[in-house]
Structure 1
């Protein structure tokens, strides 16, 4: 009810605040018998962590994960897995000037109206710092999904502000700080971000994430559809203002003869559905695009009000990402992994003994 848990059978509950002593999560429902160590989780946390380039916040956090429970002699036990990430580089004094006012575009005002108080230090619970635990949980889900179904989850940047990124190769993605699938455009992205930083402003981004080898049959009608749960999870990522599955909003301009993915003995002719039909996976790649708003914490003075309702001007200090989308790719991958893991267990629980004579479409994955 309090909105801190994602998933039903594979349930991830996060805890902590941006400037508290630690953040983390508890994973409940991970099956037993999977080899798991901190080394399985740390690489994804390293991809997300701050301070990795001049284009992101310079907060220096090692984001070293600790497994506190749920693993014995290197294997998951089936009991709750507690993961802890300690905060080591907080600068709470940077937020002293916003204790009695509200930053435009932030959750400051709404948190105060809901709870009657708020933690102004780095945004407290609403900070993007809280995406680290979900990345850790996603790494656990990724390993199980790949081990049991061969599922591969990967993402990339499609656009930074006004700069669209033509796709060239997945091999380019890990080689630059933007997760851009096109090495040739990186100098342009760097120049664009440098200009934003000098101006004290920010920009938004568009991300793409996909899961391949997802078996057909995962998902539930009507209100627990796979794509609905994916959209729900993605909207839980800080700054996301739009989610598209498959063709998304481009389907508005498509005709029915164009949008419907035709079936042939050789496989589906297209994937406008994004791997989900009627809320259930089709066996095609599950594809998701995200729209991320510009970072709200900028140096430029903005109009606001105090808690007493008096007009004031707000200047945001501290260390912030000029584009929060730059570090969001591994987070989107993690969220997709958690949702797919949850639906894998739900499908196994309900339909694990279901057998039928319908052969899979060529090129799609078997359940």
Structure 2
């Protein structure tokens, strides 16, 4: 199932099957009469079904909008029978719990298996939605069989040197995802204005049918504070700052307030980025690169990188067997 429209009603659960070492993330939209979600976990033919109740949340986002319910591998293992043979597939049955005397429905979309196989992967992430991310990065990645992620400044779509909505639609159709971002330092805003930004980022994605990536956020300039992060956590599973280069990402271990990233600047040598890929390939981890603008000339802005270096890095990742992945698949386990 890849599109919205699969519905679970009271007494009619939807069933998903997950292989060993994996979890699952599912986009859910509920009506106002849903009080909770019942999740029944079965981890093998001799395992007793175990019933869990997962609250759908009381934050402003869920009712009538798509949001993520995430069941990572660690969660499924924790609630399995002790000693269960995890070589068996895990079966999940999910249904709505209604308010008394009410009819309740859940609508599901885009179930994704959270990776757990240790295969090396790469996230090609870009901040701001700059025009060259469509005109330059997109064809290079497409030729190599890769997709990308853009942190969209949603109030700046179609502005000078920014991607247009039609370009975003083309990228999304090609498998790209869009995560939340903004032009203004959030720490300079009031709490109410910050919440308007977070809600607006999600609504922009929702209203345009961009479900992939909608549960993730990038702080402008990497600036945040505990109060703003608490507000952002109502809308986003992960909130990336500008963390230092990561030497060894451990699959499944991520800080939701600072997802690990190899941050590209004009002083970052190609050889260093390739060495990072070597470590990722050797350990079966996920490389996460963050770019801004790609230039054919000498980089001028601090976060520019040359097109030639980008092409070489993409080719190197391909030669090392790194497959394409996304925020949803990698960082969806946070939260």
Q: Same fold (TM over 0.5)?
A: no
Q: TM-score, normalised by structure 2?
A: 0.26
By relative contact order (CA 8 Å, sep 6+), the higher-ranking structure is 1
Greater strand percent: which structure?
Answer: 2
Structure with the higher helix share, 1 or 2: 1
Q: Which has the larger radius of gyration?
A: 1
